């Protein structure tokens, strides 16, 4: 985040070069040891440190998930083991026999909007 702030010309009051990586490793260790209270406190301190640069709420739309790739979106998968995936939905068109890629298209925005992809049936 410090490099992100420097690239965008933001001046920080404090430098978190050492503190943010240390807190992220602590969060991983606390989660592995099933020490969830300590993990939550480390996440809270990390959020307050990073929140001085980037402020986002849980219910906000158009979140920035990766500062190095702003086009990345959160895609809900509906699975228990990994319910979310971060990236951009892509469609491919291939030939039937050889499997050669004929066309490719990126699908930004919400790929699961029913009104956008399905035709309405007329009765």
List average pLDDT for each run of 10 residues in the chain, which is 123 residues long.
78 75 91 94 86 72 72 77 79 90 82 49 49
DSSP code of residue 103: E
Q: What is the model's pLDDT at position 117?
A: 47
**Token code pair at residue 12:** 């920080």
Q: What is the model's pLDDT at position 81?
A: 78
pTM: 0.39
CA atoms within 13 A on the CB side of 7: 6
């Amino acid at each position: 985040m410090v490099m992100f702030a420097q690239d965008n010309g933001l001046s920080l009051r404090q430098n978190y070069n050492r503190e943010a990586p240390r807190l992220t490793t602590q969060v991983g260790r606390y989660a592995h040891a099933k020490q969830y209270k300590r993990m939550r406190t480390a996440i809270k301190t990390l959020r307050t440190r990073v929140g001085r640069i980037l402020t986002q709420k849980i219910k906000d739309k158009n979140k920035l998930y990766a500062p190095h790739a702003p086009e990345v979106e959160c895609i809900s998968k509906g699975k228990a083991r990994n319910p979310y995936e971060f990236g951009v939905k892509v469609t491919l068109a291939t030939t039937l026999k050889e499997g050669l890629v004929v066309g490719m298209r990126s699908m930004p925005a919400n790929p699961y909007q029913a009104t956008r992809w399905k035709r309405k049936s007329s009765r």
